[in-house]
Chains A and B, each alone.
Chain A
Amino acid sequence: MKKKEKNINQLSRYLKKYSLMYITGILILLAIDYLDLYIPQYTGEITDGLASHGLDQEGVNAILLKMILCALAISAGRFGFRYFIIGTSRKIERALQNDIFRKLETLSQRFFNENKTGDLMAYFTNDLDALREALGWSIVSAVDAFVLSMMTLHRMMTKVSVSMTLYIMIPMGGIGILSYFVIQAFERHYTAKQESFGKLTDAVQESITAERVIKAFTQEEKQLDYFRTVNRSNFNVNMKLAKLRSLAWPLLEVFIGISYLIVIMVGGYYTITNRITLGRFIMFASYLGTLVWPMIAFGDCLTYITQGAAAMKRINRVFNEKAEITDSPEPDDVSTLEGEVCFDHVHFRYGKDLPEVLSDINVKIEKGETFAIMGRTGAGKTTMVNLMTRLFDVSSGSISFDGHDIRKIPLAVLRENIAYVPQDNFLFSETLRKNLSFGKLDATMEEIVEACRMADVDDNIQDFPDKYETMIGERGVTLSGGQKQRVSIARALLKNSPILIMDDSLSAVDTDTEDNILNNLRSLRHGKTTIIIAHRVSTVQNADHILFLDEGKVAELGSYSELMELNGQFARLQRKQQLERQLAGSQED
């Protein structure tokens, strides 16, 4: 019960905020519905007057004038409720889009590892679409359908005949029930159709991507046979939808037809026997037209409101997610870091049931030193960095900077003081300049160019069509792996932080460039802490200390010469790499 309350919370905040808009919109809707009923009534009055010869042209004109005024008011109202209700649903959609993103920004990497990007995006697209429909048109439909049908039925009963109204309510109720089930079935078949289309697209995509293999293995005919079966099953799924489509509307029309039939038969009989007048008969027929739409709308909005509620429930899952990595309620008074990092009996596992990735790490990185971390894939190198940047919190033990526990340092201070070059070299689809100044938004052009020189990428950038204003990504230039790495290094250098972490950031650059960058780093990072993760011994040989991790434990720790002397895993790796280079070196392609 408690949980349910929570689910409504986020939405009710906005419903409250925009309640005035909704109330105004609904009032307008009510007014329109009320006025709408006058149109058939006026029509009836005129026909009646003509039949009983109680009206002359002037009388007719007076009624017609009222009709025109009514129609004008209705049209103005139709504009109004769209603005107030539908417009508000779009405002809420926008606000929720912003809120979800804002919330995501506070969530830890654990959340992003557990949830695929595509699934998270579905909240913004599919779910918010459903919610927008529920908050907009469904509310309009629901109010409209309810009020309109009630008022119409009331008029039918009081102005024309109770028994006749009861008769036509049988087929009308049928329309409501039928439309509810038809829409449900449509949703089901439509989802199936989308899925089938997705499968078809995957099949085509795969087949065309594999064109070379298919040609090499002369599989063209077999591919076509296979595609035919996929295509056929897509056809079948579509036919199911088609059958429903062909049946649904004509069936509804049968019900509508039956209600008109009742009007003719019963109404005709009533008119002849003078229970109702001819004008009332015609009035009833036109009221019937007004009643059809609300009946269909009932089924419609019921479906959309259910879907909207389900969507809100999903979205709330994000809102209810607890941010794991947050500032301590009593943070230490730290505004800059000096650059000393200390791991004290650090243990870490990514999940309760997952194996330990780091066990009992005790390492002290002195201010101003260059510290290298090596080890095989999966040894825990990147995990150490993840802990230092507090993407995750340690399972036990502690990490401290200049004696402050990492959890006591405000998150913003910690991250502002660490410059980081990630392994995946993520760049945004923006201009190079914007990407470079990501860590220092107010960087001058001179500073940017200087950082790029240091990262040995300025020359490449000068070759691009728009130089530093070149767009990166789909809409612009695609950078090579090496270029990305160097841009990513420049981005970090520009921050000029007390601590620089490079996670395997030189793997895609050739050895000459690597030497250049390492040389530049030495002068640039003098007196500041630099932490380098690497695979190549050549990258780390000038580091002050080298940590060799093995299966999450400190295997070896010392300077280059110390480790060589130790003649352990590091020394073995060094010799192996030397040999490899001499013998089986790859032709740089």
Chain B
Amino acid sequence: MAKIEKEQVITAYKGRLFRRLLRYGRPYTSNFIIAFILVLAVTALTLYQPTLVARAIDENIENYGRPYAVTAQDQSQLNYHGVWLTRDFDLETADYESYGQIVYYDEHYYYFAGLSRSDVQFLQDRLSTLNEVVSQNSSADRLQINAGENLLEGTLLSREDLEVLRKDDINGILRIGLTYALSILIYALCNITQAFLLQKTGQAVVYDIRNELFEHTHSLPLRFFDTHPVGQTVTRITNDVEALSRLFSDVLVSVVANVARIIGYLVVLFCISVTMSVRTLVLIPLVFVLTAVFQVLFRKAYRLIRTKVSGLNTFLSEHISGMKLIQLFAREDHKYDQLKDTTADLYRSRMRELMYYSIYRPVVSLLYTLSVVLVLFRGSAGVLAGGITIGIVYIFIDYVQALFEPIQQLTEQFSSLQNALASGEKIFTLLDQKNTIEEKPDFTSVEKFKGKIEFRNVWFAYEEDDYVLRDVSFVINPGEKVAFVGATGAGKSSILNLIGRYYDIQKGEILIDDINIKDLSLKQLRQAIAQVQQDVFIFTGDIKSNIRLLNQEISDEQIVEAAQTVNADHFIESLPHKYDEPVSERGATLSAGQRQLLSFARTLAVDPAILVMDEATANIDTETEQLIQKALKTLMEGRTTIMVAHRLSTIQHADNIMVIHKGKLRESGTHQQLLAQNGIYKKLYELQLYSNN
């Protein structure tokens, strides 16, 4: 048999790989577009929300400095101690008789009434440097200010006074609050919708790729399965595809969103103040580099842990199932020491990962605080020198902190992108496996096969030039029973494989009912032939489903009939749930003989023209053996039967025996004829008798 190929992954895709992966997202383009728009909206809202707070601070909360003017009742909504006031004017151009001004001093607010325009201007200029002009004569509820030759006096404002005087600011806060509430709502709705759309798309893509891979795998010739371990192929269809789901449901859009967020924050910050941005963002590139470096370390540590965990699991599974031996050899201490080494290994690898995280996380959080310090340092200088408001400082603190998140996410996403690409490579390597057994598009259609089989100068090799069959020719007529005998590796089983076209021959022709099997459809050909194999595969399900094999056209009655015909009903009836008895490949509830009988029933249910049989060599108890022999007789009736036989009883009953030796057909005839011929058959026969004595 062919050797198991070492796993080869085609790494030549590179650039095309990503594009080819994206192609699976194409049916869901609209989902991506909607999600993307929503993500942009979410990003915009994330940027917008802190500016609302900043606006509330600058335009409302810190808006006490805006002056008042005494006006007519019909132009005002503000009545303070019987005086109608307005703030809705421009001081430069306004022309009112009397003005008012709120002043904040030593954590108290004071109201100065009856001011002239120049008084107001004087106070406005000195709002932040009041201590220079506050008079010594001020008391707790009176603030006196020296304005040139004028002495201005303000009265302390109570909570109720402020509520009245700053009605418009309170209303402003309410308006901003409403906007904020609305933005939360829209934000949540957008976020839920986009996340759901993307998750669904990711799952749908996974679903599609799995179906495609599964279908493709089953279209591959047996040669593929000879050379690729089952576990590897299963991993492609299950785990590797799973790794792709994150690419579509998360990574693709998040990468874009995070880049958009980073750019958004930077643009806003630079728009507000270029110098402030340049001075406060110096630590950000450091976060990038640090995260990228540690990401590599984390992956390495994680892989090491995986290896150690599976090492421990292997040790445990082996030693728990081998515990009997450990106890019988009294080697408990010895094995305990070995286990301690294994767990210590795992512990060390876990500690290494812990160390990496213990360094990375605190350093990032340090950088985070340092960035805030930097903003406060530069910001306070700006505020003190003028030109920068406290609201701006607030935005900077908020945004600089917010920048950390997308940066860290981006590096993580980059590594899951790498994982997805690695899985993609493996998946495409499987998808690009060619089906070497090609069907002709204009195949010959046959109503019913009679069952004539002919080999014409057939040459066949599993691997190049290493011929298993050399120039084999024979004819088997419909209804004939032919047995192939020969030493192990003589090529008997290969003949059986070739009739159903599981492999293509290199030279010669194989004909069924005088038609070359390459001119037939594989489906038609294989439906005409039933294979009874040495190891009978039991599907998870029940007895019924194992006879029917997903073929819903076969009725329950037909199943019982088939089971009765091949004498399988006897053991089936003895099972607790009879035909509904659950069975599985791993749950070894059926004996080898029972499996054989079940496979006979399976075969009979499809009523083939040709029966191909590899006789079981397993030891089967005499009673079942007799049942099998009887069943075989029924099975072979009216069918061309071609078999690799081991039991003398089976061989002797064949119409024709063909002796294969070193890939060549050397002798043929009946048992008696061949014995008389005194050739290879006789030698084989004697050798067998002798070796068993």
Name A residues whose Cβ lies closer than 8 Å to a Cβ of B: 39, 43, 46-47, 50-53, 55-57, 60-61, 64, 67-68, 70-72, 74-76, 78-79, 82-83, 86-87, 90-91, 93-94, 97-98, 101-102, 104-107, 109, 112, 117-118, 120-121, 124-125, 197, 200-202, 204-220, 222-228, 231-232, 234-235, 238-239, 242-243, 245-247, 249-251, 253-254, 257-258, 260-261, 264-265, 268-269, 271-275, 277-278, 281-282, 285, 389, 391, 411-412, 415-416, 418, 420, 422, 426, 428-429, 438-439, 441, 474, 495, 511, 581-589
Contact = CB atoms under 8 A, between A and B. Distances in A.
A120 B320 contact: yes
A420 B330 CA distance: 11
Given A60-B376, A428-B318, A239 B203 contact: yes
A109 B372 CA distance: 64
A117 B321 contact: yes
B383 A125 contact: no
7 contacts: A121-B320, A211-B218, A231-B207, A274-B107, A274-B108, A391-B324, A585-B692
Contact of B230 (A125, A209, A217, A285): A209
A376 B343 CA distance: 44
Contacts of A46: 376, 380
Interface in B381-406: 381, 383-384, 390, 393-394, 397
A66 to B, nearest CB: 10
A218 B234 contact: no
B410 to A, nearest CB: 18
B123 interface: no
A426 B549 CA distance: 36
Contacts of A206: 539-540, 585
A56 B200 CA distance: 56
A439 B329 contact: yes
A246 B196 contact: yes
Interface in B311-345: 312-314, 316-332, 334-336, 339-340, 343-344
Given A97-B312, A441-B334, 4 more contacts: A205-B231, A273-B163, A278-B390, A428-B318
A101 B346 CA distance: 15
A511 B335 CA distance: 36
Nearest to A123: B316
B502 interface: yes
A209 B340 CA distance: 37
A85 B326 CA distance: 36
Nearest to B625: A584
A253 B373 CA distance: 27
Interface string B55-66: 011001110100
Contacts of B327: 105, 109, 391, 415
B381 A57 contact: yes
A250 B316 CA distance: 43
Given A242-B199, A420-B328, A268 B335 contact: no
Given A78-B361, A232-B207, A243-B196, A582 B689 contact: yes
A87 B523 CA distance: 61
Nearest to A247: B192
B47 interface: no
A86 B366 contact: no
B316 A389 contact: no
* 3 cross-chain pairs, A with B, having the tightest CB-CB distances, nearest first: A242-B199, A257-B184, A246-B195
Contact of A428 (B128, B204, B322, B373): B322
Interface stretch (B142-150, B167-175, B284-292): B167-175
Q: How large is the interface on B (under 10, 10 to 19, 20 to 34, 35 or more residues)?
A: 35 or more
Contacts of A223: 214, 218, 550
A391 B330 CA distance: 12
A288 to B, nearest CB: 11
Question: Residue among B317, B335, B390 with the most chain A CB within 10 A?
Answer: B390
Given A216-B526, A274-B157, A281 B359 contact: no
Contacts of A257: 49, 180-181, 184, 187-188
A274 B53 contact: no
Contacts of A91: 347
Contact of A391 (B191, B328, B533): B328
Contact of A71 (B61, B204, B354, B366): B366
Given A87-B354, A278-B390, A584 B199 contact: no
B2 interface: no
B369 A39 contact: yes
Given A79-B362, A213-B533, A422-B328, A235 B207 contact: yes
A72 B692 contact: no
Given A218-B527, A586-B647, A60 B377 contact: yes
A75 to B, nearest CB: 4
B351 A90 contact: yes
Contacts of A217: 526, 530, 549, 551, 602, 606
Contacts, number: 388
A277 B57 CA distance: 12
B370 interface: yes
B237 interface: yes
Given A86-B354, A588-B691, A212 B320 contact: no
A220 B219 contact: yes
B370 to A, nearest CB: 6
A240 B423 CA distance: 25
Nearest to A501: B328
Contact of B166 (A209, A258, A272): A272
A288 B538 CA distance: 62
Contacts of A208: 217, 225, 230, 233-234
B321 A426 contact: yes
B162 interface: yes
Contacts of B347: 90-91, 93-94
B693 interface: yes
Nearest to B159: A273
B318 A242 contact: no
In this complex, which of A205, A212, A587 has the most chain B Cβ atoms within 10 angstroms of its Cβ? Answer: A587
Given A217-B549, A227-B214, A90 B336 contact: no
A253 B320 CA distance: 48
B529 A216 contact: yes
A422 B326 CA distance: 12
A87 B357 CA distance: 12
A584 B633 CA distance: 18
Contacts of A201: 234, 238
B637 interface: no
Contacts of A264: 52-53, 56, 173, 176-177, 180
A589 B328 contact: no
B350 interface: yes
A120 to B, nearest CB: 5
Contact of B328 (A209, A274, A389): A389
A121 B321 CA distance: 10
Contacts of A204: 214, 234, 237-238
Contact of B336 (A98, A222, A277, A389): A98
Contact of B646 (A224, A583, A589): A589
Contacts of B195: 245-246, 249-250
B64 to A, nearest CB: 8
